[in-house]
Amino acid sequence: MDKLNVFARIHEMETQMGQLYSDLGELKLAIKELLEENQRLTIENEQVRKMLKRETSGEERPASKPKLPPPIVIKNEEETGEVVGEGYDNLARLYHEGFHICNVYYGHLRTEGDCLFCLSFLNK
């Protein structure tokens, strides 16, 4: 083997290793997305089973909503009372369903318990 052939083979191997590394990164990202979706679907499945169990056990009461703080009343410049709370309620519901509502991880599944960023956002 001459020197040029050895260097050409090394360069070819480096190219293949780079391609394998990028493929591995793509696979890791796909696995992460699948795991998040699986967790979300597992939570949703549990909620549906609870609802179905409630309906089949004869309890005909409406689904109980998580206890949320009352809507916040804010007065605008004309001193009229305007209830601002539906958006807050939606965000609180999303948080209680297990999703981030903070600007850092918005929309991602909460896998490690409570998020201080989300809680501080809810307390504003």
3-state secondary structure of 73: strand
Instruction: Tell which residue, 47, 52, 51, has the closest CA to residue 98.
Output: 47
Q: Would you say 11 is a known binding-site residue?
A: no
Q: Which residues pair with 99 in a beta bridge?
A: 109
Q: Where are the alpha helices (H) located in 2-124, listed in sequence order?
A: 3-56, 86-96, 116-122
Q: Would you say 102 is a known binding-site residue?
A: yes
Buried b (16+ CB within 10 A) or exposed e, 63-74: eeeeebeeeeee
The annotation places the binding site at 100, 102, 115, 118
The annotation places the binding site for Zn(2+) at 100, 102, 115, 118
